A and B are shown apart, each in its own frame.
Chain A
Amino acid sequence: MRVACLRVPQLLLVAELRASPELAGRALAIAAGREARAEILAVSPEAAARGLCAGRTRAQASALCPELCVRVASPALEESARATLLDLALGFSPRAELAPRRAGLFAAEGCIYLDASGIAALFPSEQGFGAALSQRASALGLPGDVGIGSSRLVARIAALQAVPAGSSARPLSGEPAVFVVPAGGEVGLFARLPLDWLGASDALLERLARFGIRSSGELLALPRRSLITRLGPEAEQLARLARGEGGELPLPVPAGARLLEAVDLEHPLDRLEPLCFALQALLSRLRERLALRQLAVGELELELDLDGGGRDSRRIGLAAPSADPRLLLRLLRASLETRPAEAAVVGLRLCARGAPAPSDQLDLFRPAGPAPAALSQVLNELRALCGTERVGAPAIPDDFHPDALALHPFRPGHGIESPCAGPDGPAPPALRQLRPPVPAQVRLQAGLPAEISSAVARGHVLQLAGPWRSTGGWWSREGRFAYDSFDIQTSDGTLIRLRLDRVRKHWEIDAVYD
């Protein structure tokens, strides 16, 4: 197995810079909190050049560098950056895994492991693969170093070795640093490394130190049998690691495609425009991540953290997957306009369910309709304007109820189409349905309507046809219907379909001929 590790040493810093690109090139520090004694977790190269380093307090850092911009570490931004690393890796390999967060010296770093087996068909060499991975990461604002080896541990140590000697912090831009450990080269790599890099327990390291064993090379020089006898199986496991025999589980295939972007706002927002501005930034980052995985957005979920502790959640369905950020922003805006948040917003979380981008094979022998992407977009916009259940292709309902309505998804060219035949002869005038029907006052003469008064038609009945009875739903109290319908021309010239609702005992006009 070959594993690549992309290590972003300053993940907290670059996560902040992704959200606030205007801070690039400035002396910037990420602190653990807002208080003066909060620890500085990461500093930009510009701040490092002024003598700042991680581990100082916020007050000390500000005293050293008055122009320093200090931001509080945002868990939401860090989470987004880690998720972006995973998306990036899945653009190269189907198997990838985020490394767990580390503490202490490596607290600010982010690592992703991906399967680098069988890349020969796509890249000229492992070095080229690593360079492509590093370049793509830099383009996303996540500059990092790449190590490739036979296991996660070897790959991570190789990524650490990729940093130019003597530099404590990698510059945020520059040539990609790639370090490849060839198969069998692990012993040579580890020989001079201290044993604590292999993750040994403190107790074992202390016992080994008493013997004067501090590096992997010194450990491997010991006789194996004696090592097990004196220090137990843990020492044997450490020796196996030093030989590059990790015995790790294979990398997993991540399930699902849910992309989350979030931001904790500096100040509460209570107006729509600035909120949309913040959403636009989230959508822009989502689009980058979707592009990495060749996906579009199938569904959006927006969560707003409200001032005072409340939370507003809403789901925005799309008629067809779309990756157009302008359309997605319009849909989010329409949702917020329709149902504004109940309080000022202090945090945003935007979650997208990834779906394959729609593609259609165009028909050579039919007139060209809208492009598939344009059709998806207009369907989504119409659904936002009209409502999800009010857009589609009309259909004749499979129901006897006169008011039944059927709507199918609009997918021209899919499924069975009705034959291209016209009506058998002149068709009767079209009906305009009145939804809901309009109540009417009717005067009867010899059991038939003689005069009508309603908001639609008024006057004496000039001509009449009917009645025709339609009944159904008799098995249900709510769904039962029985109508006697008449076609009527009134003296004001209107042609209506009047019906007597025999269940509710009243007259109503359900359609007008036009």
Chain B
Amino acid sequence: MSRPPLDALLRDLGHRLRRGSATSPAAPPRLPTGEPELDQLLEGGLPCGRLSEISASPGAAQSCGRTSLALSLLAQVTRRQELAALVDAAGAFDPSSAGSRGVQLERVLWARPPARPEARSALRCAERLLLARGFALVLLDLVGVAAPCELSPVWRQLARAAAGSGSALVVLSAGRITGSSAEIALELLARRAHFGGSPALFTGLESEVALVRHRALTPRATRALLHRVA
């Protein structure tokens, strides 16, 4: 276009013209975890359409509060009348624990794939659930199961499937396994177990959760305390 017509066009459009800039993608909706301090840390909760990981801190004991956090997430989802799916490769899900934490069990699809070899069936189950679209949360429990390593392409594949479905994919693991495919990675560490009363009862567990990876933003804080003392 020659200069005079361009000048005329710029003059006519006037204030409607803006300088071009890269538009930032809209932030995905969040699934609140039900832990106020953690939700504040995550700016609303775990992101939908992304892969997140909850694992134990390196060297931490098994009892660090991962499963409690996952059940709290399940309770939040089902309380909003949405559907959730649990791929329980470890076969460790306890319906009574979930029910006591407010999970509406009839809104949870529980699949218990065989754990051998190498959780392959569990990963395929998770992929199928994501492809079905419509589950707000797909929880993949791989604690105690031989899972693929951080470099495995399976995590990128699952992250892509989650992005396509809009479901939040949360991987529960013994140690970090999803690598850079995870949008958010949380590591939990048990602080203190509470036994009290007469006769003595196990009343709760205090854990510390560390935000070790957040792809989208630099968090103001990286640690939160989870109090679960009945």
Q: A interface vs B, CB < 8 Å?
A: 366-371, 374-375, 377-379, 381-382, 385-387, 390-397, 405-408, 410, 412, 415, 417-418, 420-423, 425-435, 456-457, 463-465, 487, 489, 492-496, 511-514
Contact = CB atoms under 8 A, between A and B. Distances in A.
B199 to A, nearest CB: 7
B98 to A, nearest CB: 7
A493 B199 CA distance: 22
B200 interface: yes
Interface in B71-112: 71, 75, 79-83, 90-102, 104-112
A386 B112 CA distance: 6
A377 B132 contact: yes
28 contacts: A366-B81, A369-B134, A374-B133, A378-B129, A378-B131, A382-B111, A382-B125, A385-B124, A385-B125, A391-B109, A394-B110, A405-B95, A412-B106, A420-B79, A421-B102, A423-B102, A426-B204, A427-B102, A429-B228, A431-B94, A433-B91, A435-B91, A457-B62, A464-B200, A494-B62, A495-B63, A514-B66, A514-B67
A434 B92 contact: yes
Given A386-B125, A435-B92, A514-B66, 19 more contacts: A369-B134, A370-B83, A374-B132, A377-B132, A382-B125, A382-B129, A391-B112, A393-B105, A393-B106, A422-B75, A422-B79, A423-B102, A425-B230, A429-B63, A431-B96, A432-B92, A434-B92, A487-B202, A514-B64
A342 B182 CA distance: 45
A102 to B, nearest CB: 50
Interface string B189-221: 010010100011111110000000000000000
Interface in B118-138: 121, 124-125, 128-129, 131-136
A457 B92 CA distance: 16
B229 A415 contact: no
Contacts of A394: 93, 95, 98, 105, 108, 110
B65 interface: yes
B114 interface: yes
Nearest to A496: B63
Given A412-B83, A426-B230, A369 B135 contact: yes
Contacts of B98: 394, 430
A56 B99 CA distance: 77
B68 interface: yes
A495 B93 CA distance: 16
Nearest to B75: A422
Contacts of A379: 109
Contacts of A368: 134
Contact of A512 (B60, B62, B71, B193): B62
Nearest to B83: A369
Nearest to A432: B92
Given A412-B83, A428-B202, A422 B195 contact: no
B61 interface: yes
Interface string B129-161: 101111110000001000000000000000000
B113 interface: yes
A427 B100 contact: yes
B88 to A, nearest CB: 9
Contacts of B116: none
Nearest to B103: A394
Contacts of A430: 67-68, 70-71, 94, 97-98, 101
B61 A493 contact: yes
Contacts of B81: 366-367, 420
A360 to B, nearest CB: 12
Nearest to A392: B110
7 closest cross-chain pairs (CB), A and B: A493-B61, A370-B134, A487-B202, A514-B67, A495-B63, A432-B92, A378-B132
B110 A407 contact: yes
A427 B230 contact: yes
B99 A429 contact: no
Interface of B: 60-68, 70-71, 75, 79-83, 90-102, 104-114, 121, 124-125, 128-129, 131-136, 143, 190, 193, 195, 199-205, 227-230
A99 B105 CA distance: 54
B104 to A, nearest CB: 5
A410 B108 CA distance: 8
Nearest to A436: B91
A375 B133 CA distance: 9
A230 B134 CA distance: 81
A385 B121 contact: yes
B143 to A, nearest CB: 7
A28 B70 CA distance: 65
A429 B65 contact: yes
B202 A513 contact: yes
Nearest to A421: B102
Contacts of B60: 493
B134 A375 contact: yes
A394 B106 CA distance: 7
Contacts of A435: 91-92
A367 B136 contact: yes
A494 B63 contact: yes
Q: Which of B105, B106, B136 has the most CB of A within 10 A?
A: B106
A140 B120 CA distance: 41
Contact of A426 (B67, B111, B125, B227): B227
A381 B128 contact: yes
A429 B68 contact: yes
A514 B141 CA distance: 13
A16 B16 CA distance: 69
A512 B63 CA distance: 7
Given A394-B105, A422-B102, A370 B90 contact: no
B7 to A, nearest CB: 51
Contacts of B106: 393, 395, 408, 412, 415, 417-418
Contacts of A385: 111, 113, 121, 124-125, 128
Contacts of A407: 110
B111 A391 contact: yes
A394 B143 CA distance: 19
B125 A432 contact: no
A397 B93 CA distance: 13
A92 B95 CA distance: 50
A465 B199 CA distance: 8
B134 A495 contact: no
B177 to A, nearest CB: 17
